[in-house]
Amino acid sequence: MSRRTTAFAAALSLLVLGSPLIVGCGAQRNITEAVSNTAADLSSQDFLMLNGAIAISTKAIEINPQDAEAYNNRGLSKYHLKDYQGAIADFDKAIEINPQDAEAYSNRGFNKDALKDYQGAISDYNKAIEINPQYALAYSNRGISKGSNGDIKGACADWKEASSLGDKEAAEWVRDQCQ
C-alpha cells in the first residue's frame, strides 16, 4: 500500500474514531447523532475521497487477500460513510487474518457502538485491551460504551485508566463527569 494511502487511512481513523463525543450529562451521549452530524458535515469531495479510499483498499485486497491493514482501512472509510455493517465485515476479516490486531477490535467496537450494540462494543474493546493493555483509546471508547449502557462507574474507571495512559480528553471526562 502506498504511503499516501496509508497516510489517508490514518487521517480517516482520527476523524471520528480518535475523538469520541459525549453529549449531555452523566456520561450519556448519542453516538448515532454524533455520527450523523459528522457524515452531514462531509462535503461531496470528502465522499469522493472516501469512495476513492475504498477503491484503493479493495484493489490492495485483490492483490493480496491477506492484507489485514487494507481491510482495516476500508472498514474505516465505510464507517465514515455510515456503512457500519460493511465496516464490521471488513474488521471481521482483518481480525480473521490477524487475531492480534488490537486496532481492528477497537474499530469494530466503535462500529458496534454506532449500532447501539454496547455489549458487543465492550467485548471488542475488552479484546483490544487484552492484546494491548496500554491502548488508551480502547479504554476511552469502552468507557463511552459503558456510559451509554448505563454503567457510569465502569465508564469513569475506564476513563481514569485512559487518562493515566495519557489520554487528555479522558482526563477531562473524569473531571467533568466522574465526581
Buried b (16+ CB within 10 A) or exposed e, 68-107: bbbbbbbbbbbbbbbbbebbbbbbebbbebbeebbbbbbb
Phi/psi for 25 (5° steps) reads -100, 170
Q: Is the pLDDT of residue 18 over 80?
A: no
The class of domain 3-177 in CATH terms is mainly alpha
The mean-pLDDT minimum among 18-22, 71-75, 81-85, 124-128 falls in: 18-22
Q: Is the pLDDT of residue 146 over 80?
A: yes
Give the pLDDT band of residue 6 (cuts 50, 70, 90): very low
Q: Is the pLDDT of residue 154 over 80?
A: yes
C-beta separation of 95 from 105 below 8 A: yes
pLDDT, the chain, mean: 83
At 162 the pLDDT is: 97
> Of residues 173 and 11, which shows the higher confidence score?
173
Q: What is the spatial distance between Cα 114 and Cα 30, in angstroms, rounded to a whole number?
A: 9
Q: What is the spatial distance between Cα 48 and Cα 101, in angstroms, rounded to a whole number?
A: 28
At 44 the pLDDT is: 86
At 141 the pLDDT is: 97
Q: What is the pLDDT of residues 32-55, one digit of tens each?
A: 333 344 455 678 888 899 999 999
Among 125, 66, 120, 132, residue whose Cα is nearest residue 96: 66
Averaged pLDDT, 14-26? 36
At 46 the pLDDT is: 87
Sequence spans of domains, the chain: 3-177
